[in-house]
Amino acid sequence: MDDEHVYLVPIGADRFELYSEPSDEAPSADGPTDGFWVRQARRLHEWWRAATHAAHAAHAGGLPEGRLARARNWTVGRIADSIAQQRTLWSLRGVTSASLVHPSDLSGTAAALVRTRLLGDARRRNAWWLLVDTLLVIVAAFLVLLPGPNLIGYYFVFRAISHFLGWRGARQALQVTAWTERPEPMLAELGRLALVPCAERADRVAQIAAALGLPRLDEFFDRAAGDSR
């Protein structure tokens, strides 16, 4: 897979996040060691879609929520957050060449250094959480003896798969992917908007997202810029 566009999004003073908008489809196998993990990811992706549909239908219908429904909705919400955070790394697993679109007030060399730092942090973080979540999956496996769906088990299995695929993406992007850099003035403007209250910047952030062809960028930016303060 070539010609991936990854955006270096400024979210505050000297703070950045890598961002792209790959498909919402389940991950595809991009490497020889992806097979088992991707098969499990596809199974969980289908379960997640069904659970999301059930949660939305219950909410729209005003149905009362019991403990199981609340647990399902919590799990769906956490998985949705994880997908949003890891989607860019997942998409990099099979990428051999990519363009880093960076703020125009940052030099290409400086942007490349930031990219390398973020990918290195992501590789270490995903490796650590993969170990932790694998251990938690083993513990959660004992819950299959309890009646009802094993939501806790589903959650930690998904986390383990997510962190494995994230680790693979970060490693690929660091060791294999050939990068080029391209400046983008609208990303520099986003950096300035990160210091503006959310309500005051909302319209302009939405305009920038539309101009860049990234319909989810405004939601991502608000969440990431909010977390950075």
SS3 assignment, position 20:
coil
Sheet holding 97-103, edge to edge: 15-19, 4-12, 97-103, 178-184
To the question of pTM greater than 0.85 for the whole model, the response is no
Residue 194 has pLDDT above 90, yes or no: yes
Q: Is 28 helix (H, G, I), strand (E, B) or coil?
A: coil
Count of CB atoms within 10 A of residue 135's CB?
A: 12
Residue type, 102: H
Burial of 25 (0-12, 13-18, 19+ CB in 10 A): exposed
5, β-bridge pairs: 99
Percent of the chain scoring above 90 in pLDDT: 47
What tens digit of pLDDT does each residue of 104-153 get? Answer: 999 999 999 999 999 999 999 999 999 998 888 887 776 554 445 556 66
Residue predicted with more confidence, 208 or 219 = 208
Give the tens place of pLDDT for each residue, 45-104: 565 566 556 555 554 555 455 665 665 565 565 666 666 678 899 889 889 999 999 999
Read off the DSSP letter of residue 143.
Answer: G
The closest of 43, 38, 40 to 27, measured between CA atoms, is 38
